[in-house]
Amino acid sequence: MAKLIKNLVSSHILRESDLLTIQALLHHFDHPNQLKGLSQEDLSEIVSSSAEGKQLHATLKLAHLLSNPGRQDRFVIRMPRDAYQYCKEKFEMVGDGQAVLLALTTKNHVLSLTTIDEKVMADIPTCQRFIFRELILRNAASGILVHILKEGDLNPTTEQISVAKTITEAGDVCGISILDILHMTGSEYLSFKEKGWV
């Protein structure tokens, strides 16, 4: 059934490209991702017809939903506890002694969870490059860095707080905010944001 729908959508897009001239869209936009935020009115102006704009808008919306089937189920991070809860559910998969990066949308939906190697974490410049490269590749608006620790003291060292500040400042420079840095175990967490360290 899903294959049939995809085939119908694909053939429909091809017909639209013939009727509405896809060149008009390519003339206005450099990348397909720019089509996601277009309203029906925007498309109507480009293709010079309200009916065709409406049809194209519906087609693009359906194509986007089909290519992102889990989009509506994304977890939303509203506070540090939400990030902790999300990572806690993944705890067994990730394992302790690891660091993970959560990439978030502008509405704080989780886009991805990426494990960061210990060797990467040990070198600050390498760690910064890795973090922001991942966030840029995911087209993320922001990120949260989470250290998953073995049971014990969650309090960071002075050096860890300094590194956290360096990473968040780098985020401010490149325009992708690091919203928080968490230390967590399977039973508790500590938020650098709540402590005022970042």
Helix H, strand E, coil C: the string for 90-106 is CHHHHCCCEEEEEEECC
Is the pLDDT at 181 greater than 90, yes or no? yes
Higher-scoring residue by pLDDT: 134, 94: 134
Summarize pLDDT for 7-62 with one digit per residue, the tens.
Answer: 544 554 445 444 444 556 656 665 555 666 666 677 667 666 677 767 776 776 66
Please tell me the distance from the alpha carbon of residue 176 to that of residue 184, in angstroms, as a whole number: 23
Amino acid occupying residue 146: V
pLDDT at 134 over 50: yes
When the pLDDT of each residue in the chain is averaged and rounded to a whole number, the result is 77
Q: Which fold has domain 74-195?
A: Cytidine Deaminase; domain 2 (3.40.140)
Beta bridge partners, 104, equal 110, 142
Confidence grade of residue 80 (pLDDT, cut at 50, 70, 90): very high
Domain boundaries, the chain: 2-71, 74-195
Write down the pLDDT at residue 16: 47
Alpha helices in the chain (DSSP H): 2-20, 22-28, 40-47, 50-67, 80-89, 91-94, 118-122, 124-137, 158-174, 192-195
| pTM to 2 decimal places | 0.61
